[in-house]
Structure 1
Amino acid sequence: MIGSSNRKSVPVTSSDNDFDSEHDLDGDEGVSDSVEARVWQLLLLINPGDEESALQQFADYRDAAAHVDENDVEPIDIIRRVIDWRSGFYVDRHDTRALVQAIDELSSRWNISIDWDGDPDDDDFHTDIDAASLFAIAYDGLLEHGYTLWAWEAEDDSCAGWITLKRDNEFLRELATSLGINMRLGSEVT
């Protein structure tokens, strides 16, 4: 069982638009172990302080998952689509401009501006830098404000990640593992 002091309840409903009925993850048998419950917890973590966005993304996740055969559902594939550029990013590893834009967009949710050690609007900046270096810079910048930049393993030549509160690091690792998502800190990207 996944443990956390930040545990919230997962909406379990009879319809996609009705989030009135909630169950605690420690409570009802089956709810705590469901993929849906773990996805809900993940969405709460990557939307710190913004439960409304988490609820919208959860509804989008449930809708998308309903259109896929239950045996073929890969949670991260659906999560990636419902959070893209709102709570996470998935960009080509060689497109350093898109990576900077994505991280800047996510950081702006908390009025955090990353000091990129150069001007990301300058073409020369992108000739001399790679995705791993950008992850490391952003990781350090976000950590100063109590946030952690994460990267998750993408199967193609892409960079993918999200941002959580630093205090949730251990819970995120456990949750990601339970969902089959290979995570690493932004400072560990190679």
Structure 2
Amino acid sequence: MTSFDDDFDSEHDLDHDEESGDPVEARIWHLLLLINPGDEDMAMQQFAAYREAMTEAAEDTDPVEVIARIIDWRSGFQVDADDTHALVQAVDELAARWNLSIDWNGDPDDDDFHDDMDAASLFSTAYDYLAQFGYTLWAWETDEGNYAGWITQTRDNEPMRELATDLRINMRLGSDVT
């Protein structure tokens, strides 16, 4: 099993504080690498924004909440549970990073399409489509009754599960959203 802390220290020079050995910061960096496949520059920008936000945040601030704000509509999303239009737009925006356009099995620009759709169906459709190209759509629970998620490469599913557990993110595959 790979230690995320070791990966962080050995592969990246991000002014990691050796004395404090902040394992949360190392895990956040690894998370950003996973949700920005092939785009370490974006991960680095988001990590810098995370560090800055955490220096200004209250001591009991949840790092995952900070990350959710930083990555929103760039490497992840958080939308109202009833807003299927926003969910489609957010997933389409993320998939476009790899020149993919989700086949939603209908026209998501048509309001009638959304009349018969719920978020779980949309997550499942997007999950199945992205899987064909080696990507996994993830969903995680928020306290606000929203849907949130991001996309990783399928080969990173196990590291993503381990990392989510370490960060206490209640996450599941997009195909398992209810």
Q: What TM-score do you get using the length of structure 2 for normalisation?
A: 0.92
Following the alignment from structure 1 to structure 2, what is the Cα–Cα distance between the partners of residues 29 and 146? 39
Following the alignment from structure 2 to structure 1, what is the Cα–Cα distance between the partners of residues 70 and 29? 12
Q: Which residue of 1 aligns with 2:76?
A: 88
**Is 2:32 the counterpart of 1:43?**
yes
Following the alignment from structure 1 to structure 2, what is the Cα–Cα distance between the partners of residues 103 and 41? 22
Following the alignment from structure 2 to structure 1, what is the Cα–Cα distance between the partners of residues 96 and 107? 17
Following the alignment from structure 1 to structure 2, what is the Cα–Cα distance between the partners of residues 60 and 87? 13
Match 2:64 to one of 70, 76, 79: 76
Structure 1, gaps ≥5 residues long:
14-21
Following the alignment from structure 2 to structure 1, what is the Cα–Cα distance between the partners of residues 25 and 76? 18
Q: Which residue of 1 aligns with 2:48?
A: 59
**1:161 is paired with a residue of what secondary structure?**
strand
Q: What TM-score do you get using the length of structure 1 for normalisation?
A: 0.86
How far off its partner does 1:3 sit? Answer: 4.3
How many pairs were matched up? 174
**1:102 is paired with a residue of what secondary structure?**
helix
Following the alignment from structure 1 to structure 2, what is the Cα–Cα distance between the partners of residues 11 and 73? 25
Aligned partner letter, 2:151: I
Structure 2, gaps ≥5 residues long:
none
Q: Which residue of 2 aligns with 1:12?
A: 14
Aligned partner letter, 2:124: A
Following the alignment from structure 2 to structure 1, what is the Cα–Cα distance between the partners of residues 135 and 96? 12
Greater helix share, 1 or 2?
2
Q: Which residue of 1 aligns with 2:92?
A: 104
Following the alignment from structure 1 to structure 2, what is the Cα–Cα distance between the partners of residues 102 and 51? 21
Q: Which residue of 2 aligns with 1:121?
A: 109
Identity %: 63
Quick check: 1:2–1:174 contact (8 Å CA) kept in 2? Answer: no
Following the alignment from structure 1 to structure 2, what is the Cα–Cα distance between the partners of residues 176 and 52? 22
**2:151 is paired with a residue of what secondary structure?**
strand
RMSD, aligned CA = 1.8
Equivalent runs, 1:27-42 vs 2, <5 Å: 31=21, 34-42=23-31
**1:89 is paired with a residue of what secondary structure?**
strand
Q: Which residue of 2 aligns with 1:16?
A: none
Aligned partner letter, 1:57: Q
Aligned partner letter, 1:161: G
